[in-house]
């Protein structure tokens, strides 16, 4: 066991099994104390590498994450404290590996329930190699104004209240982390505060004992008095009794052993800690308190008298000029986390994203205010969901049915079109599904599948201006613009597109009005006088019929209809539909295990012409 001070303002630790809250609390304590460097040198998460973003005061910093204890110790040779937040199942292996690293001097094991046999092996190895183990089942320890382990001393408010941001004159050791917090508060009230505090842990076999730390405190010049809080069960306090009797402790020791109420119970009582169970009269709180008092410790008559006893001892040392009370000061303000400040109403912050189509914060997600359960219970279809997420309203069933028809009819148009071809070639290159899908989608544009919005835009403008088909087509010709939605490489007057016929039939049967589609048909009649293949294609049909859908359902204003077309809603319908086919082609090629595609030479014109 080390005989002097464990920590300093330059102490750095490695944190095993990352937990954001205790690490951030350590860094906040560092900033509060005015440390220049963070006390956490690195984090160890087995199998992971990278970094974790945390705050050091106002500054956001990156704490490195290492995949093994060995690599972390090699990269941070000055980090000599190992804080182990592993579970009780893996605490032994990770702790033993850390103890075997030459750079590690102190290890804190937070987990409760570490098997006693494992704890004994860790203790034996640590003592044989002059290393310190705090725990298992500990919150850790703290040196005021210098360094703290994990969640020791609780919240920042408690740390400030207990004046732990600067060193006092008292050394404190206890089995209990929770009672340590209470005692730090007491020390701040009746003394100039804590210098170092250790919670050795409540298990039957702690890695270091009460007397181990009392003897250390005795060798630290800044510590002028010592406070010990023990508990019933075990014999740890008797090693302190022996040290006092042998004159190894020269500083005043105020001590109390909790659990005197155990005598009120007729049978043996197990208190909170594994070791807090009296196994006989010698392990009772009363017997331990008497032994400590007989050995020279200052022991109050009850726990209620402990604070007054500490105060009297401190005041006596001040009067004897053994202690010069530490002057207090106002510590720097640690910036509050934004989420905590917002929750407490201290600040307001603007949002970064606005969403009006869905909400996932309640008991179940909603689409445009419609709960997921309603969507399932009322048998909503894909068209209904699109109407909610795209148009933010429930459209009539004939509208959502039309949307679904568009998706069904546009899902695929064979392997030869540019989108499918790209996806096929990419799949045969061994790429993943998303890459194959995106390669096909990237071909969608003015020349392939992307003319629906333009068709709707131009048909609407011409119809609303009451242009005749002749005026519309000839004006487009003068501008050098092909009429979107008119013309097909394969289909013609005598070989009509079946998809167009199906959509027109449905609309004439179910739509209240099809004025834009009928206008597109009159345009087709005129363009067919120019060429046999200048027929109304599926883009033009969908574009004109969507205009009819938006205007005839009487759920959209004229401004909303214009905005829908300008934003690109209708092309979105084609993108959604064709994604089905592109995914199908990708799966087809992978299922067939097709080799890498190479375009045949005979299909390439090799020429010197430029």
Task: Report d(CA 221, CA 323) in Å as an integer.
Answer: 11
Task: Report d(CA 77, CA 401) in Å as an integer.
Answer: 68
Residue 125 CB contacts under 8 Å (≥ 6 apart), including other chains: 96, 99, 100, 131
174 bridge partner residues: 199, 229
Q: Which of 395, 417, 429, 392 is nearest to 563 (CA)?
A: 392
Q: Phi then psi for 443, rounded to 5 degrees?
A: -85, -15
How many helices (H) and strands (E) are present in the chain, helices listed first?
A: 23, 16
Q: Which of 212, 188, 218, 219 is nearest to 198 (CA)?
A: 212
Strands ordered across the beta sheet of 170-174: 147-148, 140-143, 194-199, 170-174, 225-231, 253-258
Answer yes or no: are the C-beta atoms of 237 and 299 closer than 8 Å.
no
CA distances from 97 to 8, 71, 92, 251, 504 (A): 24, 12, 8, 37, 75
Q: Is the peptide bond before 136 cis (omega within 30 degrees of 0)?
A: yes
Length of the chain: 610
Task: Determine how many CB atoms are found less than 10 A away from the CB of residue 246.
Answer: 9
Cα 445 to chain centroid distance, Å, stands at 38
Dmax (CA) for the chain in angstroms is 119
Q: Phi then psi for 147, rounded to 5 degrees?
A: -160, 145
Tokens 């701040």 sit on residue: 188
Residue 555 CB contacts under 8 Å (≥ 6 apart), including other chains: 393, 395
Task: Report d(CA 140, CA 151) in Å as an integer.
Answer: 8
Task: Report d(CA 178, CA 152) in Å as an integer.
Answer: 9
Paired tokens of 556: 């959209």
**For residue 53, what is the enclosing H or E element?**
strand 50-56
Note the helical H segments in 469-556. Answer: 469-479, 498-510, 515-527, 538-552
User: Coil, helix or strand for 97?
Assistant: helix
Task: Report d(CA 390, CA 379) in Å as an integer.
Answer: 19
Task: Report d(CA 168, CA 234) in Å as an integer.
Answer: 31
Strands ordered across the beta sheet of 106-109: 50-56, 59-66, 40-44, 13-16, 81-84, 106-109, 132-134
Segments of 396-514 assigned E as strands: none
Q: Which of 181, 179, 178, 173 is nearest to 212 (CA)?
A: 173
Pairing of strands 194-199, 370-371: unpaired
Task: Report d(CA 114, CA 526) in Å as an integer.
Answer: 87
Active-site residue, selected from the candidate residues 273, 463, 488, 585: 273
User: Coil, helix or strand for 503?
Assistant: helix
Active site annotation includes 463: no
Residues with catalytic function? 273
């Amino acid at each position: 066991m080390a005989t002097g001070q464990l920590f300093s303002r330059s102490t750095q630790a490695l944190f095993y099994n990352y937990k954001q809250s205790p690490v951030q609390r350590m860094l906040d304590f560092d900033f509060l104390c005015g440390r220049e460097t963070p006390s956490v040198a690195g984090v160890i998460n087995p199998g992971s590498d990278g970094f974790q973003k945390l705050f050091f005061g106002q500054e956001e910093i990156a704490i490195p994450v290492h995949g093994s204890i060995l690599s972390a110790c090699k990269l941070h040779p000055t980090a000599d404290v190992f804080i182990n937040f592993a579970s009780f199942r893996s605490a032994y292996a990770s702790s033993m590996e850390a103890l075997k690293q030459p750079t590690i001097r102190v290890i804190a094991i937070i987990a409760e329930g570490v098997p006693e046999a494992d704890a004994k092996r860790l203790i034996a190895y640590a003592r044989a190699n002059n290393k310190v183990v705090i725990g298992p089942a500990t919150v850790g320890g703290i040196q005021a104004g210098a360094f703290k382990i994990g969640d020791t001393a609780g919240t920042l408010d408690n740390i400030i209240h207990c004046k732990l941001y600067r060193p006092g004159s008292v050394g404190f050791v206890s089995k209990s982390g929770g009672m340590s917090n209470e005692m730090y508060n007491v020390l701040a009230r009746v003394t100039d505060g804590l210098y170092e505090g250790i919670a050795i842990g409540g298990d039957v076999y702690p890695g270091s004992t009460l007397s181990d730390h009392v003897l250390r405190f005795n060798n630290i010049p800044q510590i002028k008095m010592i406070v010990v809080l023990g508990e019933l069960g075990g014999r740890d306090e008797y090693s302190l009794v022996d040290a006092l009797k042998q004159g190894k402790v020269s500083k005043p020791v105020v001590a109390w052993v909790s659990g005197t109420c155990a005598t009120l119970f007729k049978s043996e009582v197990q208190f909170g800690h594994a070791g807090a169970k009296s196994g006989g009269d010698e392990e009772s709180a009363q017997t331990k308190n008497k032994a400590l008092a007989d050995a020279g410790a200052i022991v109050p008559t009850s726990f209620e008298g402990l604070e007054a006893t500490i105060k009297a001892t401190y005041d006596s040392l001040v009067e004897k000029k053994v202690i010069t009370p530490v002057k207090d000061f106002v510590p720097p303000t640690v910036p509050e986390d934004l989420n905590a400040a917002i929750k407490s109403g201290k600040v307001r912050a603007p949002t970064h994203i606005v969403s009006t189509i869905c909400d996932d914060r309640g008991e179940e997600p909603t689409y445009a205010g419609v709960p997921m359960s309603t969507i399932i219970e009322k048998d909503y279809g894909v068209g209904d969901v699109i109407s909610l997420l795209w148009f933010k309203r429930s459209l009539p069933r004939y509208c959502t049915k039309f949307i679904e028809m568009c998706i069904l009819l546009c899902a695929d148009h064979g392997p030869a079109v540019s989108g499918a071809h790209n996806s096929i070639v990419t799949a045969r290159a061994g790429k993943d599904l998303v890459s194959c899908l995106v390669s096909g989608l990237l071909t969608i544009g003015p020349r392939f599948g992307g003319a629906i919005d333009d068709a709707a835009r131009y048909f609407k403008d011409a119809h609303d201006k009451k242009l005749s088909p002749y005026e519309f087509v000839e004006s487009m010709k003068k501008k050098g613009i092909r009429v979107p939605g008119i013309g097909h490489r394969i289909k013609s007057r005598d070989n009509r597109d079946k998809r167009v016929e199906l959509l027109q039939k449905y609309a004439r049967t179910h739509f209240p009005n099809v004025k834009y589609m009928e206008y597109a048909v009159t345009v087709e009649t005129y363009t067919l006088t120019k060429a046999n293949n200048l027929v109304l294609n599926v883009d033009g049909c969908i574009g004109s019929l969507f205009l009819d859908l938006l205007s005839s359902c009487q759920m959209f204003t004229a401004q909303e209809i214009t905005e829908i077309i300008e934003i690109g809603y209708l092309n979105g319908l084609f993108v959604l539909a064709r994604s089905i086919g592109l995914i199908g082609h990708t799966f087809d090629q992978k299922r067939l295990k097709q080799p890498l595609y190479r375009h045949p030479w005979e299909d390439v014109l090799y020429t010197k012409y430029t």
